[in-house]
Amino acid sequence: MADTVRVREDDLRAFVERALTSVGVDEAQARIVGDVLVAADRRGIESHGVARLRWFYVDRIRNGRIAARPRYEVVRERDTTLLLDAGNGLGHPASHYAMTRTIDKARDKGIAFAAVRNSNHYGIAGYYAMMALEHDMIGICTTDSAHFAVPTFGRTRMQGTNPFAFAIPANEEPAFVLDFATTTVTYGKLEVYERKALPLKPGWAVDEHGNSTKDPTVRHHGGSLLPLGGFGTDNGGHKGYGLGALCEILTGVLAAGWFGTALTLEEKPDAPSGITSHFFGAVRIDALRDPHEFKLDLDRELRTFKRSTPAPGQTRVYVAGEIEHENEIAFRRDGIPLIGPVIDDLDKLAADLRIQPVRRISA
């Protein structure tokens, strides 16, 4: 097993592109996937980065579960809305297309929404919400997924991690980027803890009997995540449950995609694909007020939180997206860290596909 290594983001993105084009993905689409996966690792969200390249994408393309070159269909379209069928292709390019169209429509009308069905996993939700920032817009995104979580007071998997993301531009402060799963942690977090052989934190997951567990391999044995807020209602678990249900309504139900018990599937390379649905929104700030004045006020709002008194034992109060922003600065300067199991898997993938492996930063 290799030690942790650091790689430049351009080299990592190029590797993703080589891997995907070698299994038949169009170069433009491979470039988008590479950008999304590297953005996750660059922001320190290792659960959704290149560690998923083989399992979630390459293997499924090779065994025919995901279409390497899908045919998109615009099912419905109006001035401010779009419904896209992604043709069982990779979720990243379909989502990039849908959010781009949403931004274009919002530019004309002030606000717009899009839904996508017959798609697949698309990486981090925050990526698509953040696409709106450079246009002085507020970006919104959510996606459903195969079910990994139990509902409040339940023991059967009935919800995905179902994240929501909101991105709002500031002036001098980093953008406010709220990107969160509606479960206590993401399914990918269990993958990370299993790779690192670490015990789960209390309240993250339950075993097949509905009892709390710290076993990082629980996902392989019928275990489940809990809704945001944890077990029961005392700490607000019902709120996470409700948010997860809202996500599935805005995605699977609204897009006429898969929902309910149809999503009670394991995330395995041979599981059915095309089950995922997404939802996107964009709002022009100047539809409501002057953008520059808004961003100045948002700076003041964010600084109010950041200048508040930290709790005992803490040194700072953060706002949403700030830690990830600081990761991006550091990792662009020093390289993106990849732990041993991840770089080893990428090397094996390179050998399997007969492509050039990821280039490391020289010590």
21 in any annotated domain: yes
pLDDT tens-place values along the chain, 363 residues long: 568 999 999 999 999 999 999 999 999 999 999 999 999 999 999 989 999 999 999 999 999 999 999 999 999 999 999 999 999 999 999 999 999 999 999 999 999 999 999 999 999 999 999 999 999 999 999 999 989 899 999 888 999 999 999 999 999 999 999 999 999 988 778 888 998 889 998 889 999 888 889 998 988 888 899 999 998 899 999 999 999 999 999 999 999 999 998 887 655 556 678 899 999 999 999 999 999 999 999 999 999 999 999 999 999 999 999 999 999 999 999 999 999 999 999 999 999 999 999 999 975
* Same domain, residue pair 137 and 123: yes
How confident is the model at residue 58, as a pLDDT?
97
Decide: 42 and 9 in contact? Cβ < 8 Å.
yes
Question: What's the one-letter identity of residue 254?
Answer: L
200 in any annotated domain: no
* Same domain, residue pair 269 and 361: no
* Same domain, residue pair 135 and 255: yes
* Domain count across the chain: 2
**CA 165 to mean position of chain CA atoms:** 9
* Same domain, residue pair 79 and 165: yes
CATH number of the domain to which 327 belongs:
1.10.1530.10
- What sections of the chain are H helices per DSSP? 9-22, 27-42, 59-62, 91-109, 125-130, 187-195, 237-248, 291-306, 322-334, 340-353
How confident is the model at residue 264, as a pLDDT?
72
39 in any annotated domain: yes
What's the rounded Cα separation, in Å, for the pair 152 and 288? 38
| Residue span of the structural domain in which 10 resides | 1-69+322-363
> What number of helices (H) and strands (E) belong to the chain?
10, 12
* Residue whose entry in the numeric block shows the structure tokens 């002036």: 171
CATH number of the domain to which 267 belongs:
3.30.1370.60
* Same domain, residue pair 175 and 247: yes
* Same domain, residue pair 301 and 354: no
How confident is the model at residue 83, as a pLDDT?
98
* Same domain, residue pair 176 and 33: no
Cβ neighbors of 222 (< 8 A, separation 6 or more) are 207, 208
The answer to pTM > 0.85 is yes
Handedness of CA 44, 45, 46, 51 (dihedral sign): negative
95 in any annotated domain: yes
What's the rounded Cα separation, in Å, for the pair 314 and 318? 11
How confident is the model at residue 2, as a pLDDT?
61
* Same domain, residue pair 245 and 296: yes
